[in-house]
Structure 1
Amino acid sequence: MSTAEYRWTVPVDHPAFAGHFPGQPIVPGVVLLDQAVLFAGQWLGQPAIAWQIGNAKFLSPVGPGETLFFALQRKASGGIAFTVQAAERAVASGSLTPPAA
């Protein structure tokens, strides 16, 4: 099985912070999923549309300016397992299914 790793620093001015949550901004889970899908698409050379989320767990909140490390692993089924870390802290994990060819 092959793997890929990506680094992403959450922009302090990300538009999702406007309503999530005023005074104490937290990265919404959908933003983390979006980044995982974008990285998987780059890795596999597939557009970041029509991906399916097999499952997702959000383990720790993420704030503006944090640097996240996405680790992706191709499964025998063709899907992608992913984990997200902020330093040594687990942030999220899950699985993705790429669009049918």
Structure 2
Amino acid sequence: MNRFTIAHDHPSLAGHFPGRPIVPGVVVLDRVLDAVEAAHGPLPALRLPQVKFVRPLLPGEPAQVVIEAAAPVETGAPASRWRFRVERDGELVASGEIAAAGASAA
């Protein structure tokens, strides 16, 4: 589990949205990729076959990324698909799947 908080002065917040900042989805996904790389090392080219944003994440709110391999790893081969959840205070913020660009659909 990787915990993170996006600071109120993050550069992406100025335009997203003025007067009522919301952490952009791409910033949340960047934290998801950081969590996968922390657990599995550098990643190849990736695709996002499924991503769903359920509720907004506001600046300063602590969140956590939970990842799991989407398919069993065979014979010691590295994982190439992961499911993820981003949670805030036990509530789902976003979920989805990340796959190596060459990984087949599960």
Report TM bin, short chain.
0.7 to 0.9
Could you list the runs of 5+ residues in structure 2 that have no partner in the other structure? 73-79
| TM-score normalised by the chain length of structure 1 | 0.86
Distance 2:12 2:27 in 1: 8
Counterpart contact for 1:69–1:86, Cα < 8 Å:
yes
Distance 1:17 1:26 in 2: 7
Task: Describe the superposition over 1:53-91 as per-residue Cα deviations: whole angstroms up to 9, x where unpaired.
Answer: 121000001111010011000121630000011002210
Residue 95 of structure 2 is aligned to residue 93 of structure 1: yes
| Larger-gyration structure (1/2) | 2
Other-structure match for 1:43: 39
SS of the counterpart of 2:9? coil
Runs of 4+ in 1 over 2 A off after TM superposition: none
Distance 1:30 1:79 in 2: 19
Alpha-carbon shift at residue 98 of structure 1 (Å):
3.0
SS of the counterpart of 1:65? coil
Q: What number of residue pairs does the alignment pair up? A: 96
Cα-Cα RMSD:
1.8
2:30 to 27, 34, 37: 34
| TM-score normalised by the chain length of structure 2 | 0.82
1:16 to 12, 17, 38: 12
